[in-house]
């Protein structure tokens, strides 16, 4: 019996590498793994629906659920997660010393609907008293000019968003003081080579992020895995098959990270780091599946709604193929 050919756009993560190399094969699927940076994957899928399945910005996927005919369906697999307190950058001369100093300031976001800034805005509102509508947002390319929102947004009037000029970049504007802060996913070049003119809001971000996890239990989800809806409707078994393979691929990485015969990642104290993370976050510190992530997803969906991205407050179950909501062992 011939297998179903599926194209899958995804970056070359350690947790998906066994799938990429063919060491794990999804049941009934001949997988064409397309290794691309996330920005390219998202753009090509959201604008042109080029792939059968791909990793997908959690925020973009959530916004797409409100289209008249939602084009995708997700499975509860999360190839990208990251604490984002480290990703708030400020101009050193802006007068921003603590989070509340952001109120009334000019803040860059490459795209308002990006997942990382959505988490940052929500965390700042929930934990630091910085209302989402208390700043003016400037959107556009971080390092290269001309980056539009991937999806059309219809935001409430209290959310102030402006596009930067066609030749401007957020990184340079932050360095020059044309914006006061930047919420982003990628480290701006003006931070790495700006001679101290751009700083992190939280220089001790690791401690701040660990404290955040201890108090909330949330490890922010950045990306999920989305299947083009026409592919799913024609072959509903694909959702479970892909999920099972992605879970199995991740198990390879969990094992590799704690193999002491030889270090498989170029981190001298990798074993100590894994032991520290396990002690603090548990053995399954990067959980897949619905149940273990329901609280994190509910928090994100509330942020999406409060920030004008979602037209109603979605429930986490609404995001995923129903076949993938129950846990299973492999």
The CATH code of the domain that includes 109 is 3.40.190.10
Structural domain containing residue 227: 4-80+220-324
Asked if residue 140 belongs to a domain, the reply is yes
CB 162 within 8 A of CB 136: yes
Nearest to 52 by CA among 224, 223, 230: 230
Distance CA 124, CA 294 (A): 21
- 63, containing H or E segment: helix 58-64
Which one of 184, 216, 248 terminates a domain?
216
On whether both 151 and 252 belong to a single domain, the answer is no
Asked if residue 282 belongs to a domain, the reply is yes
> Based on the structure, what is the number of domains in the chain?
2
Asked if residue 329 belongs to a domain, the reply is no
Asked if residue 34 belongs to a domain, the reply is yes
Distance CA 121, CA 220 (A): 13
Phi/psi at 156 (5° precision)? -65, 160
Which one of 149, 184, 216 terminates a domain?
216
On whether both 226 and 201 belong to a single domain, the answer is no
Per-residue confidence (pLDDT) for residue 328, from 0 to 100: 59
Per-residue confidence (pLDDT) for residue 152, from 0 to 100: 87
Q: What is the pLDDT of residues 313-329, one digit of tens each?
A: 999 999 999 999 987 55
Distance CA 206, CA 203 (A): 8
Q: What is the pLDDT of residues 229-272, one digit of tens each?
A: 999 999 999 999 999 999 999 999 999 999 999 999 999 999 99
On whether both 191 and 233 belong to a single domain, the answer is no
Query: Counting Cβ atoms within 10 Å, is residue 207 exposed (0-12), middle (13-18) or buried (19+)?
Result: exposed
Which parts of the chain sit beneath pLDDT 50? none
């Amino acid at each position: 019996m011939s297998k179903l050919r599926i194209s899958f756009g995804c970056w070359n993560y350690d947790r998906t590498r066994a799938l990429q190399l063919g060491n794990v094969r999804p049941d009934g699927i001949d997988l064409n793994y397309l290794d691309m940076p996330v920005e390219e994957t998202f753009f090509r899928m959201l604008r042109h629906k080029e792939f059968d399945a791909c990793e997908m910005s959690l925020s973009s996927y959530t916004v797409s659920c409100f289209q008249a005919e939602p084009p995708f369906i997700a499975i509860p697999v999360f190839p990208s997660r990251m604490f984002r307190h480290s990703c708030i950058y400020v101009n050193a001369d802006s007068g921003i010393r603590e989070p509340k100093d952001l109120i009334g300031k000019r803040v860059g976001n490459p795209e308002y609907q990006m997942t990382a800034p959505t988490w940052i805005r929500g965390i700042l509102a929930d934990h630091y008293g910085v209302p989402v509508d208390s700043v003016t947002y400037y959107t556009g390319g971080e390092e290269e000019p001309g980056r539009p929102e991937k999806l059309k947004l219809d935001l409430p009037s209290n959310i102030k968003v402006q596009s930067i000029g066609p030749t401007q970049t957020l990184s340079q504007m932050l360095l020059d003081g044309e914006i006061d802060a930047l919420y982003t996913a990628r480290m701006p070049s003006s931070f790495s080579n700006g001679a101290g003119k751009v700083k992190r809001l939280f220089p001790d971000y690791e401690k701040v992020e660990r404290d955040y996890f201890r108090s909330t239990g949330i490890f922010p989800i950045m990306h999920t895995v989305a299947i083009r809806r026409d592919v799913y409707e024609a072959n509903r078994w694909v959702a479970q098959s892909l999920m099972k393979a992605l879970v199995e691929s991740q198990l390879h990485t969990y094992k590799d990270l704690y193999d002491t015969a030889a270090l498989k990642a170029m981190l001298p104290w990798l074993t100590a780091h894994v032991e520290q993370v396990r002690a603090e976050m548990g053995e399954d510190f990067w959980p897949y599946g619905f149940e273990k992530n329901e609280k994190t997803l509910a928090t994100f969906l509330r942020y999406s709604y409060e920030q004008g991205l979602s037209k109603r407050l979605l429930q986490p179950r609404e995001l995923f193929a129903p076949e993938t909501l129950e846990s299973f062992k492999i």
